[in-house]
Amino acid sequence: MLQALVDWAITTPMNGWVLSWNWTWVILEILHFVGLTLLLGGLLVIDLRFMGFLKQIPPMVTHKLLAIVFLGFTINLVSGILFFFGDPGRYAINIGFQIKFGLIILAGLNVLWFYFKVVRTMNTWADVDSPPASAKFIASTSLVLWFAVLICGRLIPYVGTG
């Protein structure tokens, strides 16, 4: 199954496009870094607030940062897909990439948990300065997952096939 995905990716026009110009990979690296900065920068403020820090920022105001977070995620999603299509044989078997992909799925599930458990109940909080334990746990989990994604991404060039 994995080999079929690799074989298919190699034959797509995207593979040829990514490999056709020497600067494509460099530009994708820069875009991936910018996307990561937007994603983690916004999430850092949001998650720290929901962990009980940065109390001068009202919790509802942090939602204005979500546009930046989603922009960063979108940039990383597109550039990450292009990285994969540029070298599918290397990425498909790379343990760092596989763990990173799994962590991104877990982080996505954590976002859903945040939405259903925290966002929908925020207006019922008795004290917005001290978020409930569930909000603190979900925000802490978010930071751990996203920084683990960052670390695994950096390990991709240095780790093998597991």
Of 70, 78, 74, nearest to 17 by C-alpha is 78
pLDDT of 162: 55
pTM, two decimals, is: 0.90
Residue-level pLDDT at 124:
77
Q: pLDDT at position 129, please?
A: 73
Instruction: Give ∠ CA 29-31-32 in degrees, rounded to 5.
Output: 65
| Confidence (pLDDT) at 12 | 93
Residue 43 CB partners (closer than 8 Å, separation 6+): 69, 142, 143, 146
Exposure string of 24-62, with b = 16+ CB inside 10 Å and e = fewer, is eeeebeebbeebbebbbebbbbbbbbbbeeeeeeebeeb
Residues 74 and 39: their CA atoms lie apart, in Å, by 9
pLDDT per residue rounded down to tens, the chain (162 residues): 778 989 999 999 999 999 999 999 999 999 999 999 999 999 999 999 999 999 888 888 888 999 999 999 999 999 999 999 999 999 999 999 999 999 999 999 999 999 898 888 877 776 667 888 999 999 999 999 999 999 999 999 999 765
pLDDT of 20: 93
